[in-house]
Structures are given as structure tokens and as C-alpha cells.
């Protein structure tokens, strides 16, 4: 059986992916959990999963961690900008030196060298690094996590108004668990070399759709109010939200307005053999 390694194995996506690999009857001894701090994944060790230390800032640790790996789930670093590209460059170089058989990289929908969304350029350049390495690869281009919807828009339940600067932009929100399931599916099947999959909802959601879904799930009327970025920033600044988070929120709204997450695809349904979780179903479950 192929040896499958997962980076960032102590994070939510990494741990979910390993759990789903085990549900797919991958033997624990064939799975390698790569983490910066092995103490965080002792529960996996107790199930028979091999634990290896690998730190994106420590190239030697990455090369050692990747020895003998056939398939690598490369879950992106939480860093942004040049730091992310440095981390990912270390990983790609280590994978080549360790002769990893196939990299499955968790990228972003519509990666671009210049974008409103701060994470997009780092993913774009990482894809280029992987292409330049000559390693067999698959890109899973993820849209925004559906899990963020209650965090981003849950406050609208208290006011009855979803006020945002995203304009008429749309987002193909996809549940983290569906992303993990898709990653586990491609790691355990054939025919994915050189492919780039759009891991997104079949039909993206407008902000009015999100307001309607919140209304239905909560039984509270919520309407969407489109704001300029300046007006949105002013509203956020009138709350206890830290200035840095305010600016990140405004920039994310501008990325939504610019269409950077406006993508629909049937790729998830084809890979999983089922439709991904809808926003309405996700919110209904979250409010139970």
C-alpha cells in the first residue's frame, strides 16, 4: 500500500483528512502525520499512525520527514506573503530531495500573482514552484471555508442586517469536512496526476443568498445591505474588533466584490460521488 503523508497534521484540515483516510480503510501504518510539535498528535500515534517532525522553517526536518513518502498531502502554511512562499519553497525542495512520488497541494480558487485576497499570490507562486520542480502533482484549489460563514456573518442575526462591502460578488463556500473528504478521495485513487480541481460549491452564493440562508436557519429575518469599503470599515471600527482584523475583513470584502471567489464546479461531486454540503444544510446543523 502506498505511503501517504499529511503536513499540518495537527490542524483542523490535516487531522480531518487523516481521520477520513482511516475511514477509507487505509492502514494506520501507511499514514505519516507531519507536524512541527509531535506532542499535539499523540492520539494519532495511539492509533498506529507514524508521527514525524517537520517544520516549514527547517528544511532538514522536512527532508527527513518526507523520506519514503509516495503521496503527500501538502497543506499550506498559515503564513502569508513572502514568508509563505519561503515555507512552501522549503517543502517543495525537500520533497524533491526526498523523491516524493506525488504532491497533492491545497491551493486556492483562482490563484493569481496579484489579488485582493492576501493569500492568493502565495498559492500562485507555490503552484509555480511545484510545476518547476518536475514532481508529479495535483492542485486542489479550495474556495473559502463554509465554516467561516457564522464567523463572518453571524452578527447579522442580532441586527437583522448583513451589512458588507462585497457588493454583488459571490463565493463558492465549501465545508472544511468536504475539502478533507475530497483530499482523502484523491489520495486513495488514481488518475489525478497533472490535474487541477476546483474545490468549490456547484453554484456560488451571493451575499443576499447568505442573508436568506441565515434567515431560514435561525427563523430571524436577515436582509443584505451593500456598503462601500469606507462605510464598512467605519461600521467595524465602531465595534471592539481590532484594527488589523478590520482591515483584513475589508480586504476580504473587496476580494469578494472583485469576483475572486466567484467559481462553481462539479469537481467535488464527481470526486466524492455525492453533492457537497449546501450552505442551508450546514447552517441548519450549526444552529441545532
Closest CA to 220 of 130, 266, 270, 154: 154
Q: CA-based Rg of the chain, rounded to a whole angstrom?
A: 20
Class (C level, CATH) for 4-142: alpha beta
> Which residue bears the cell 481521520?
19
Instruction: Dump pLDDT digits (tens) for 229-238.
Output: 999 999 999 9
For the chain, the structural domain boundaries read: 4-142, 143-174+200-263+275-288
Contact yes or no for 197/183 (Cβ under 8 A): no
Contact yes or no for 199/268 (Cβ under 8 A): yes
Task: Using alpha carbons, list the distances in angstroms from residue 98 to 11, 80, 87, 199.
Answer: 24, 26, 17, 28
What is the average pLDDT score of the chain? 95
DSSP tally for the chain: helices H, then strands E: 13, 11
Position 284 scores a pLDDT of 87
Instruction: Dump pLDDT digits (tens) for 59-72.
Output: 999 999 999 999 99
Q: What are phi and psi of 86, to 5 degrees?
A: -65, -50
Closest CA to 168 of 114, 134, 129, 209: 209
* pLDDT exceeds 60 at position 211: yes
Q: What is the pTM of this model?
A: 0.95
Q: Is 194 exposed, middle or buried (0-12, 13-18, 19+ CB in 10 A)?
A: exposed
Class (C level, CATH) for 143-174+200-263+275-288: alpha beta
Which stretches of 27-153 are assigned E, i.e. beta strand? Answer: 31-35, 50-53, 71-74, 102-108, 137-142
Position 80 scores a pLDDT of 77
Contact yes or no for 168/206 (Cβ under 8 A): yes
pLDDT, mean of residues 127-153: 96
Q: What is the percent of the chain where pLDDT is above 70?
A: 99
Instruction: Dump pLDDT digits (tens) for 94-126.
Output: 999 999 999 999 999 999 999 999 999 999 999
Q: Is the dihedral of CA 268, 270, 273, 279 positive or negative?
A: positive
- What's the rounded Cα separation, in Å, for the pair 138 and 274? 21
Position 287 scores a pLDDT of 63
The 3-state DSSP class for residue 103 equals strand
Amino acid at each position: 500500500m502506498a505511503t501517504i503523508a499529511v503536513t499540518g497534521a495537527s490542524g483542523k484540515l490535516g487531522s480531518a483528512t487523516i481521520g477520513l483516510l482511516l475511514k477509507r480503510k487505509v492502514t494506520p501504518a501507511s499514514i505519516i502525520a507531519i507536524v512541527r510539535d509531535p506532542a499535539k498528535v499523540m492520539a494519532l500515534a495511539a492509533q498506529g499512525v507514524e508521527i514525524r517532525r517537520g517544520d516549514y522553517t527547517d528544511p532538514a526536518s522536512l527532508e527527513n520527514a518526507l523520506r519514503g513518502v509516495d503521496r503527500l498531502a501538502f497543506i499550506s502554511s498559515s503564513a502569508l506573503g513572502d514568508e509563505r512562499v519561503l515555507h512552501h519553497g522549503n517543502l517543495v525542495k525537500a520533497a524533491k530531495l526526498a523523491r516524493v512520488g506525488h504532491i497533492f497541494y491545497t491551493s486556492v480558487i483562482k490563484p493569481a500573482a496579484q489579488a485582493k485576497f492576501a493569500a492568493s499570490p502565495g498559492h500562485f507562486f507555490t503552484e509555480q514552484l511545484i510545476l518547476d520542480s518536475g514532481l508529479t502533482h495535483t492542485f486542489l484549489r479550495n474556495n473559502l471555508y463554509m465554516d467561516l460563514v457564522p464567523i463572518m456573518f453571524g452578527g447579522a442575526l442580532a441586527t437583522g442586517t448583513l451589512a458588507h462591502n462585497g457588493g454583488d460578488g459571490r463565493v463558492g463556500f465549501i465545508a472544511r469536512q468536504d475539502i478533507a473528504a475530497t483530499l482523502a478521495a484523491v489520495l486513495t485513487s488514481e488518475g489525478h496526476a497533472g490535474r487541477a480541481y476546483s474545490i468549490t460549491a456547484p453554484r456560488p452564493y451571493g451575499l443576499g443568498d447568505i442573508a436568506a440562508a441565515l434567515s431560514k436557519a435561525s427563523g430571524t429575518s436577515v436582509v443584505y445591505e451593500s456598503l462601500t469599503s469606507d462605510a464598512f470599515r467605519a461600521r467595524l471600527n465602531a465595534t471592539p474588533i481590532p484594527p488589523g482584523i478590520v482591515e483584513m475583513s475589508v480586504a476580504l470584502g473587496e476580494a469578494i466584490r472583485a469576483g475572486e471567489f466567484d467559481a462553481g464546479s462539479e469537481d467535488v461531486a464527481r470526486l466524492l460521488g455525492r453533492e457537497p454540503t449546501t450552505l442551508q444544510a450546514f447552517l441548519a446543523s450549526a444552529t441545532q
